[in-house]
Amino acid sequence: MFKIRCTVIVLALLLSFSLAANADTITLTDIYGPNTVVNIDPDSQAGVYEWIVDGTNHIFQNSYWYSIGNGPITPVTSLGSPTVTPFAEFMAQVLYAGELFDFQVDYILAGWDIGTGQSDIAQTVTVTNKTGSPLNFTLYEYLNLDLNGNKDGQTGTMTSSGAFSQTEGITLSEITINAVGSTSEVGDAATLLAKLYSNDPIVANNSYVGDVGVVFAMNFQLHQSWMMSQDNRVINGAVPEPSGIMALVGMVGLLPLMRRRRA
């Protein structure tokens, strides 16, 4: 299966330039892991709004915001309608072209066998400076998981720098981000979203119980370009098998954070 998927990715990359399209709802599926469907709205702050694993949606919203210097916190979607490039049924690239910078997100879905309750989404963000001068850039990622389709009864914890876990019953989600110098606030999902809209500062907080949300705020000097990779994983009561799709991830510029079975 691994060789087959590598072949699919190579062919998809060769065809990608002819597949670029204007933004619409993006649906990711995985014929090798048919238990998962992911839906993404690149035109709104909903972002990734459905992560359906074995018939249950585990996410409400996953979206990106930014600020430059002392400027306001602004949704990435304000840059205009993106260009979407579907590399394969389980891979897509979303590119927002701004005046000062370009913002690109690459998604890879790795589903699992039906009934396992496991799934994995890898995301890579690339920010490219178009000004010729460094920008004091802050990237904000907002994540609101509703594990098992439940809004309340969630427990969210920053387990280490760049590692977040959320549980509801026996269901676990793990998020790993490789960005350095980030501040993370775990709290009430609606309150955190309101902070972004009102330009309130993100304050480090490591845990919350209830309707959990998290904001990852990553500040850096943007010279030519900057990249951040992350792995989003859901495990419904099962112990995952350790392995990876690092070669596949590398083909599209994603860092090797994503773990995946081989058949």
Give pLDDT tens digits for 102-126. 999 999 999 999 999 999 999 999 9
Are the C-beta atoms of residues 53 and 149 closer than 8 Å to each other? no
| pLDDT tens, residue by residue, 15-60 | 443 344 555 899 999 999 999 999 999 999 999 999 999 999 999 9
Of 244, 64, 257, nearest in space to 163 by CA: 257
Please state the domain extents for the chain: 2-251
- Separation between Cα atoms, residue 13 and residue 133, nearest integer Å: 32
- Separation between Cα atoms, residue 29 and residue 47, nearest integer Å: 17
The winner for highest mean pLDDT among 164-178, 230-244, 249-263 is 164-178
Give pTM, 2 decimals: 0.85
pLDDT, mean of residues 186-201: 98
pLDDT, mean of residues 138-154: 97
According to DSSP, residue 219 is labeled E
According to DSSP, residue 198 is labeled H
Q: What's the CATH number for 2-251? A: 2.70.98.10
- Higher pLDDT, residue 248 or 38: 38
- Separation between Cα atoms, residue 116 and residue 121, nearest integer Å: 16
From 99-113, 174-188, 244-258, the region with the lowest mean pLDDT: 244-258
CA of 52: how far to CAs of 112, 152, 234, 241, 258, in Å? 12, 18, 10, 21, 18
| pLDDT tens, residue by residue, 213-236 | 999 999 999 999 999 999 999 998
pLDDT at 104 (0 to 100): 99
